[in-house]
């Protein structure tokens, strides 16, 4: 796309995801809306972390952006295109393991490339490169049942990245993992992010994880109301800003100490 | 690895002992005062007859005839069963039209249709193949239907947001996902198909293992009847082994999740 000389146009192009007056209820009655009249924008190349009590609607929000759910009112616009169903421009990493059990790690990533129309020949090398990115070059021929939980999520991330999505939607992808694996996957995600600059919505229960990963952190309340929003800038744990962010998030989440 | 191999050979050896014990007991019973060498011949004479019939080519003729009917019937039943299972598994409209009808047909034991088969298709090949096809159809249809119906929505979603739609969704996601069910249906249907074929051959045929048993009965050759039973048992085992081999080649992950739990 040619660069537009008009400043206004440039600003519009910087918005990756926009939710406008988004309303959704599972039973289609507005009084029971899980997401009620939500307005939210995510800028290009931003990592937005979404926190919130269990059942507040984080997964529902992500599913609306992914196009698995259709809103009653309002729209989700991703890079200028209104969402009308799932598509490869929005990659999703699920909380549950979602690899195809009949394909190897390599096969799972190749599936994604095949959907993009890549030739059979080119696929293999490209898939190996993606698995390299998540440190799995030694396990490419293993089936999902032969992989640990952390490895499965790594393959899932590689598979999603292989589709070259414009935005990445991650629903508590590391929640089922032990602290150590979780921490190293967070590092890997940041490394990948610095290479690709993909816009990411990252849902998590873990305050420390949110502060470590997010450019911006929001806490959702009942009805998908935004209770708190923090510009983060990824402070380190020794940074005083870390403690401040932590306190604000914990207060919004109504917990003494969330870790 | 070595201990696993040893465990396997111990299990195989025990199975062999079971056979030897059974054959000895049988041999002793037939030759004892309560036994009867004509009505209840010992395994030694059955095996003797088995070798004679094999070397004369007499037995092969019957086995080939039966095997051909099973395979043709199996193919003729399996393809429409899988196609219809995909249809009823996918579409609630089609399943609401077809499922009650198909479940009603399914609850009729296929053996009960043998006399009808003879009526409608004669005692030739057509009736045998048609009966086998009918018998294998239902287990395969039911399993395919369940397999497609039970596809994890998570996998469908994962595929959809990678860009899979339409035919590619069907062939690359839904069919492999339902494959364990379909394979179970194929295994179950094989035994049902063979049972039905034997019944059809007993009811009237020119060749076939069931026919062999039936004519031997008329001439009081119990030893030849026993040869027929052995051929059926071994043949069924071989077919299942071939099917298992194909499954292992086609779907190495099939059953592997359960296996990895067993270790
Ligand atoms: N398929 C569904 N049908 C009906 N109600 C649902 C469905 N899925 C979720 N809900 C309800 O919608 C609300 C929000 O659910 P959602 O899964 O979005 O919460 P969440 O914030 O992701 O929770 P968690 O942190 O536990 O994953 C909950 O009250 C839940 O009971
Ligand atoms: Mg959730």
Mean pLDDT, rounded, for A184-203: 92
Is the separation of the CB atoms in B136 and B77 below 8 Å?
Answer: yes
Is ligand 1 within 6 A of the CB of residue A206? no
Which residues does B27 contact at the CB level (< 8 Å), separation at least 6?
B42, B43, B44
Mean pLDDT, rounded, for A64-70: 95
Domain ranges in chain B?
42-262
- Residue A167 has what DSSP assignment? E
Is ligand 1 within 6 A of the CB of residue A59? yes
CB atoms within 10 A of CB A183: 15
The tens digit of pLDDT for each residue in A148-161 reads 988 999 999 999 99
Strands A47-52 and A35-43: unpaired
- Provide the pLDDT for residue B71: 94
Residue A13 pLDDT grade (very low, low, confident, very high; cuts 50, 70, 90): low
Return residues 174-233 of B near A (CB < 8 Å): 176-177, 179
**Chain mean pLDDT for chain B:** 90
What residues of chain B lie within 8 A of the CB of A91, using their CB? 161-162
Long-range contacts of B1-9 (CB under 8 A, 24+ apart): none
- Provide the pLDDT for residue B256: 66
- Provide the pLDDT for residue A258: 43
In chain A, the domains with their CATH numbers are: 9-89+165-253 (3.40.50.300), 99-164 (no CATH)
Residue A133 pLDDT grade (very low, low, confident, very high; cuts 50, 70, 90): confident
Q: Which of A12-16, A116-120, A164-168 has the lowest mean pLDDT?
A: A12-16
Strands A73-78 and A81-82: antiparallel
- Provide the pLDDT for residue A123: 94
Which residues does B9 contact at the CB level (< 8 Å), separation at least 6?
none
Residue A236, min C-alpha distance to chain B (Å): 34
Tokens found for residue B130:
């048609």
Determine, for residues A85 and B160 on separate chains, whether the beta-carbon distance falls below 8 Å: yes
Phi and psi at residue B117, in whole multiples of 5°?
-55, -45
* The dihedral sign for the CA sequence A124, A108, A193, A151: negative
Q: Would an 8 Å CB–CB cutoff place A163 in contact with chain B? A: yes
Determine, for residues B154 and A94 on separate chains, whether the beta-carbon distance falls below 8 Å: yes
What share of chain B has pLDDT > 90, as a percent? 76
Length of chain B: 263
The tens digit of pLDDT for each residue in B111-133 reads 999 989 888 988 789 999 999 99
3-state secondary structure of A31: helix
Task: Give the integer Cα–Cα distance in Å for B37 and B223.
Answer: 9
Determine, for residues A102 and B161 on separate chains, whether the beta-carbon distance falls below 8 Å: no
Is residue A57's pLDDT more than 70? yes
Task: Give the integer Cα–Cα distance in Å for B227 and B212.
Answer: 9
Mean pLDDT, rounded, for B166-188: 92
**Per-residue DSSP letters for chain B?**
-HHHHHHHHHHHHHHHHHHHHHHHHHHHHHHSTT--TTTS--HHHHHHHHHHHHHHTHHHHHHHHHHHHHHHHHHHHHHHHHHHHHHHHH-HHHHHHHHHHHHHHHTS-GGGGHHHHHHHHTTSHHHHHHHHHHHHHHHHHHHHHHHHHT--HHHHHHHHTTT--HHHHIIIIIHHHHHHHHHHHHHHHHHHHHHHHHHHHHHS-SSSHHHHHHHHHHTT-HHHHHHHHHHHHHHHHHHHHHHHHHHHHH-TTTTHHHHHHH-
Is residue B222's pLDDT more than 60? yes
Residue with tokens 């190293």: A184
Is residue A257's pLDDT more than 70? no
The tens digit of pLDDT for each residue in A199-217 reads 999 999 899 999 999 999 9
- Provide the pLDDT for residue A189: 92
Residue of A nearest to B166 (CA): A115
Helix extents (H) in chain A: 7-14, 58-66, 105-115, 120-133, 149-162, 179-196, 207-213, 240-253
Mean pLDDT, rounded, for A55-84: 94
Mean pLDDT, rounded, for A63-77: 95
Determine, for residues B162 and A160 on separate chains, whether the beta-carbon distance falls below 8 Å: yes
The tens digit of pLDDT for each residue in B158-174 reads 999 999 999 999 999 99
What share of chain A has pLDDT > 90, as a percent? 62
Is the separation of the CB atoms in A91 and A78 below 8 Å?
Answer: no
Task: Give the integer Cα–Cα distance in Å for A150 and A181.
Answer: 6
Residue A256 pLDDT grade (very low, low, confident, very high; cuts 50, 70, 90): low
Mean pLDDT, rounded, for B100-109: 95
The tens digit of pLDDT for each residue in B142-162 reads 999 999 999 999 999 999 999
Task: Give the integer Cα–Cα distance in Å for A216 and A44.
Answer: 12
Residue B227 pLDDT grade (very low, low, confident, very high; cuts 50, 70, 90): very high
More confident residue, B145 or B36: B145
Is the separation of the CB atoms in A51 and A218 below 8 Å?
Answer: yes
Task: Give the integer Cα–Cα distance in Å for B152 and A98.
Answer: 9
- Residue A53 has what DSSP assignment? -
Is residue A167's pLDDT more than 60? yes
Residue A11 pLDDT grade (very low, low, confident, very high; cuts 50, 70, 90): low
Is the separation of the CB atoms in B130 and B117 below 8 Å?
Answer: yes
Q: How many Cα atoms within 13 Å fall on the side-chain side of residue A223?
A: 13
Residue whose C-alpha is closest to residue B256's, from A102, A140, A107: A102
Is residue A3's pLDDT more than 50? no
- Provide the pLDDT for residue B248: 84
Mean pLDDT, rounded, for A183-197: 90
Q: Starting at the edge strand that comes first in sequence, how are the strands of the sheet with A35-43 ordered?
A: A35-43, A15-24, A73-78, A81-82
Is residue A91's pLDDT more than 90? yes
Q: Per DSSP, what are the bridge partners of residue A203? A: A50, A171
- Provide the pLDDT for residue B1: 63
Torsion angle defined by CA atoms of residues B55, B61, B62 and B68, in that order, rounded to the nearest 10 degrees: 130
> Does the domain made of B42-262 have the CATH classification 3.30.420.10?
no
């Amino acid at each position: 796309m040619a660069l537009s000389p008009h400043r206004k146009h440039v600003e519009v192009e910087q918005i990756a995801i926009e939710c406008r007056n988004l309303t959704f209820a599972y039973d289609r009655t507005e009084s029971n809306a899980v997401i009620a009249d939500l307005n939210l924008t995510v800028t290009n190349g931003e990592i937005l972390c979404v926190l919130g009590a269990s059942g507040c609607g984080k997964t529902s929000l992500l599913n609306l952006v992914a196009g698995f759910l259709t809103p009653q009112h309002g729209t989700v616009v991703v890079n200028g295109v209104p969402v009308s169903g799932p598509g490869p421009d929005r990659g999703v990493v699920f909380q549950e393991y979602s690899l195809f059990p009949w394909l190897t790690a390599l096969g799972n990533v190749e599936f994604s490339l095949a959907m993009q129309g890549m030739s059979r020949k080119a696929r293999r090398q490209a898939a190996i490169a993606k698995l390299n990115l998540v440190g799995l070059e030694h396990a490419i021929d293993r089936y999902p049942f032969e992989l640990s939980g952390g490895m499965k999520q790594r393959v899932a991330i590689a598979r999603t990245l292989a589709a070259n999505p414009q935005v990445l939607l991650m629903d508590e992808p590391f929640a089922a993992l032990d602290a150590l694996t979780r921490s190293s996957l967070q590092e890997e995600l940041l490394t990948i992010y610095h290479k690709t600059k993909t816009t990411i919505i990252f849902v998590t229960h873990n305050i420390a994880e949110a502060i470590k990963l997010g450019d911006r952190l929001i806490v959702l309340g009942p009805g998908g109301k935004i209770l708190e929003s923090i510009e983060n800038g990824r402070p380190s744990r020794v940074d005083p800003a870390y403690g401040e962010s932590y306190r604000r998030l914990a207060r919004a989440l109504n917990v003494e100490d969330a870790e | 690895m070595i201990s696993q191999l040893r465990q396997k050979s111990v299990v195989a050896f025990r199975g062999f002992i079971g056979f030897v014990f059974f054959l000895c007991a049988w041999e002793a019973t037939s030759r004892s005062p309560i036994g009867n060498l004509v009505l209840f011949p010992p395994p030694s004479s059955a095996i003797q007859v088995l070798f004679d019939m094999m070397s004369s080519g007499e037995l092969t003729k019957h086995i080939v005839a039966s095997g051909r009917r099973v395979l043709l019937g199996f193919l003729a039943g399996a393809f429409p069963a899988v196609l219809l299972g995909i249809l009823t598994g996918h579409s609630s409209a089609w399943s609401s039209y077809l499922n009650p009808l198909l479940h009603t047909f399914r609850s009729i034991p296929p053996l009960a249709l043998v006399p009808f088969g003879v009526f409608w298709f004669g005692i030739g090949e057509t009736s045998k193949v048609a009966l086998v096809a009918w018998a294998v159809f239902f287990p395969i249809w039911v399993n395919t239907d369940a397999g497609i119906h039970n596809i994890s929505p998570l996998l469908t979603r994962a595929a959809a947001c990678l860009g899979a739609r339409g035919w590619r969704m069907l062939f690359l996601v839904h069919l492999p996902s339902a494959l364990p069910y379909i394979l179970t249906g194929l295994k179950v249907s094989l035994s049902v198909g063979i049972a039905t074929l034997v019944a059809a051959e007993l009811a009237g045929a020119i060749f076939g293992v069931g026919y062999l048993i039936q004519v031997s009965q008329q001439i009081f050759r119990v030893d030849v009847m026993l040869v027929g039973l052995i051929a059926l048992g071994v043949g069924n085992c071989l077919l299942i082994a071939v099917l298992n081999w194909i499954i292992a080649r086609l779907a190495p992950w099939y059953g592997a999740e359960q296996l990895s739990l067993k270790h």
